[in-house]
Structure 1
Amino acid sequence: MSNQQVNCQNCEQPYQEGFRFCPHCGQKTNDDLTIGVLFYNTISNYFSFDARFLKSFLPLMFKPGHLAKEFIKGKRLLYLHPAQMYLFISVIFFFVISFSTRELVSQANTFNEKVVKGDIETKTVNTDSVEAVLDSIQLEKVLKPLKENQDKLGLKEDDLKIADSIIKSANNQPNNIKSISDFNKKKIDSMIDAGSDKELIYKEMGMTHDASFLERRFFANILNLMEGRGAGGMVQAFFDSIPIAMFFLMPLFAFILKIFYYNKGTYAHHLVFSFYFFSFLFTVFAILFAVNRFVYDIPDGIDWLIAISTYLYFLIALIKFYRQHWLLTWFKSGIITFIFTIFIIPTSFLLLLAFSFVFY
């Protein structure tokens, strides 16, 4: 008597009744849909949050370079895939800092509105005590003929002092100091209050007739700032751009590793190392942000000490993964860190600022 055959609900292939898993696709044969099953499938499918993550977390934090070395050896299923780990931890990191991001956006909008309404007190130059146009040498040249002909003109010392005071007073009158930018701003403010067409406002601000997309976006965002509603969007766009920037920074970091370890494997090997190292960084800073915000305000000195200690982790990871002498590795790690923190990160920061200003 032959065993009864049933069809898999997923791949519809036949298998022998009594199997716990389908021999063709691996799905459980008795997988009733419950809240627990739904939640587990969601997490495991999108973030691979399973036993491999738990097995990978402790080595990631306390055994620098171990996961990358094991993955290169061929242990691809024992630990979580480097790209999957990076994706999962980066999502957690940006979720944690999103609480601070919302506060910064709100503060930026509030500050922008106060500036537009004139609630922010600004310091102005006191024209009664500062010689704004003519310097002391020029004033002396103006007064010199009067002093040289004092007797001929019948001028007394008090008369010269009065003349000196009158010239300085006229020199320091605010009406003599005109600012084109202030004049344009007042005119643009009046156009905004009057509800003028934005195209007319852009042209008044200096936009050319055949403006490109970037130029038009530039003046549109300047106008948003002048209307008191642009600063928060700019801050939000900046933080939204960070995950995108990281997908460029990490391959660039792997490329730098390839330059310094050109004979230590292919570019993919260095990319695996970078995935795990950036996962470690995101984990450390996510924990710091979370503890500082929700648990206890850690002293700044300890925060900085923990941040600097990530370099020690990087050094040990390089020694274990690339297997070079510690002194040579220390020298290389210093140069790599210098290049990345002094040149690449600031440049990326400026590009993010420009990107967020143009496209927010």
Structure 2
Amino acid sequence: MKETGRFLKKYRGDECLNCGVPLDIIDRYCNHCGQINTNKRLSLKDFFSEFFASIFSYDSRLRHTIIALLFKPGKISKEYIQGKRVKYANPFRFYLSVSIIFFIINGLFIDFDGYRTEMEDKAKFGKEAIDEIKESIKMDDSTKQKISDQILTTNGIPESEKDKISQEILNADGLSFLDIEEDTPKEVVYYSQEQIDSIGFFKRGFKLWAMYRDYYKKTEEKSTYRALSELKHKKNQLNKYVYHRVLKTKSIEENYGQEFFEFIFNKLPFIIFFFLPFFALGIWLLYIRRPFNYMEHLVFIFHTQTMFFIVIGLAILISKISNVNTFFNIAMLVFLFYLYKAMRKFYNQGRGKTIVKFLLVNVLFFILAGVGSVLTLVGSVFIF
């Protein structure tokens, strides 16, 4: 390789500037810590040339990783667990980087404001429809009289009472005389701090929730500190947390979940990263007779999941540019075929066994995805 810039021999020293290990003039890097052997002051040109060289050079880890991942299903995982790791990027960090880029790009095309506007319009339309129905069921006197006579005849009302009941029906507004009387709302009990402290911890949370929710409904107080002061409650972590949850819950209701779903979407790369080890555990049980340990299965999972983000990400970009939605379905089929080939290559089993386990892997994935979605929604309610 031609020596240029900071790599020139005239800039080399006789010891490493990082760790102090003695070096020779022929040493381009320190044999102890790996730092470049140069005394040249860093310039803007050197900085950017080294930056782009590390990305686009022929022996770059990124280049080898992407080529192997895209065009040789299962090979990169197999070689990585066999010890060929210098030329490939770390599968865990590479997955996390690709997933974050995927969700950033995908987030550009998700219109949360449009979703909220659509929900508001539907809610408004629903209210107007209900009002129209109420208006349409208002009856004139002749219709009321027919219904009155039918009710009185069917129920065997005595003649002496018929005129009185008939008049009440005629005075009724619409079908309100058929409505079931609503139960009186249950009165919420307000506890003092001393009473709260005497309640068990888990039961205490429910009592505080009901009380704070009712208080907010009546006062619309959005300051946690002012609310606790008015209620004469301690400003401890539990009280502040519960009242804050009440505020967040009302916020979700008022903006139709827009902020809540944005919160979950922004956390998805880390949520999926957290659940993949459980998926790898299922794969390990499925291939328990094969000579692979848990971490080797996990490497394979991270590589295939990274490929999933790459394929689906490209499909989303093409679909948005071309306004053709079929690319997403094509991308899913491409990835499923890729996964099958990767499983054959990595686990080295025949077509029959691979197909059966391929189907089981997909069933397992959807089960874990369902469980993970529920846990994510529940957990997000407590930390949003």
Choose between structure 1 and 2 for higher RCO, CA contacts under 8 A separated by at least 6 residues.
Answer: 1
User: Which residue number in structure 2 is paired with residue 192 of structure 1?
Assistant: 220
Distance in 2 of aligned mates of 1:160 and 1:5: 110
Letter in 1 for 2:373: F
SS at 1:68's partner residue? helix
User: Which residue number in structure 1 is paired with residue 89 of structure 2?
Assistant: 80
Per-residue Cα deviation, 1:314-339 (whole angstroms, up to 9, x for no partner) = 11111111111211111111112012
Q: Residue 269 of structure 1: which of 293, 296, 299 is its match?
A: 296
CA 1:52–1:277 in structure 2 vs 1: closer, same or farther (change >3 Å)? same
CA contact (8 A) 2:137 2:174 kept: no
Distance in 1 of aligned mates of 2:42 and 2:358: 51
TM-score normalised according to structure 1 size = 0.72
Letter in 2 for 1:20: R
Per-residue Cα deviation, 1:6-65 (whole angstroms, up to 9, x for no partner) = 22222222212343222332222236423455457778999x997121112122112111
User: Which residue number in structure 2 is paired with residue 255 of structure 1?
Assistant: 281
CA contact (8 A) 1:11 1:25 kept: yes
CA contact (8 A) 1:52 1:78 kept: yes
1:10 aligns with 2:18: yes
For structure 2, the 5+ residue unaligned runs are 1-11, 139-146, 187-209, 232-236
TM-score normalised according to structure 2 size = 0.68
1:124 aligns with 2:130: yes
CA contact (8 A) 1:96 1:289 kept: no
Distance in 2 of aligned mates of 1:211 and 1:284: 45
User: Which residue number in structure 1 is paired with residue 263 of structure 2?
Assistant: 237
Distance in 2 of aligned mates of 1:268 and 1:232: 38
SS at 1:330's partner residue? helix
1:353 aligns with 2:353: no
Per-residue Cα deviation, 1:76-119 (whole angstroms, up to 9, x for no partner) = 21322322321332232133123235x42x4466678x69xx96
CA contact (8 A) 1:258 1:267 kept: yes
CA 1:5–1:67 in structure 2 vs 1: closer, same or farther (change >3 Å)? closer
SS at 1:75's partner residue? coil
CA 1:45–1:109 in structure 2 vs 1: closer, same or farther (change >3 Å)? farther
Kindly report which structure 2 residues correspond to 1:163-174, keeping only aligned pairs within 5 A, or say none: 165-166=170-171, 169=174, 171-172=176-177
1:218 aligns with 2:245: yes
Q: Residue 330 of structure 1: which of 323, 347, 355 is its match?
A: 355
Distance in 2 of aligned mates of 1:223 and 1:88: 35
Distance in 2 of aligned mates of 1:259 and 1:277: 18
How far apart are residue 255 of structure 1 and its match?
A: 0.7
SS at 2:14's partner residue? strand
Distance in 2 of aligned mates of 1:119 and 1:153: 44
CA 1:339–1:24 in structure 2 vs 1: closer, same or farther (change >3 Å)? closer
For structure 1, the 5+ residue unaligned runs are 132-137, 204-209
How far apart are residue 187 of structure 1 and its match?
A: 9.0
CA contact (8 A) 1:202 1:220 kept: no
CA contact (8 A) 2:224 2:240 kept: no
Per-residue Cα deviation, 1:206-265 (whole angstroms, up to 9, x for no partner) = xxxx96776444322123346x46844312220132122122221111111101100221
How far apart are residue 358 of structure 1 and its match?
A: 2.5
User: Which residue number in structure 2 is paired with residue 19 of structure 1?
Assistant: 27
CA RMSD of aligned residues (A): 4.6
Letter in 2 for 1:305: I
Distance in 1 of aligned mates of 2:126 and 2:229: 27
Distance in 1 of aligned mates of 2:243 and 2:86: 51
Q: Residue 64 of structure 1: which of 73, 95, 102 is its match?
A: 73
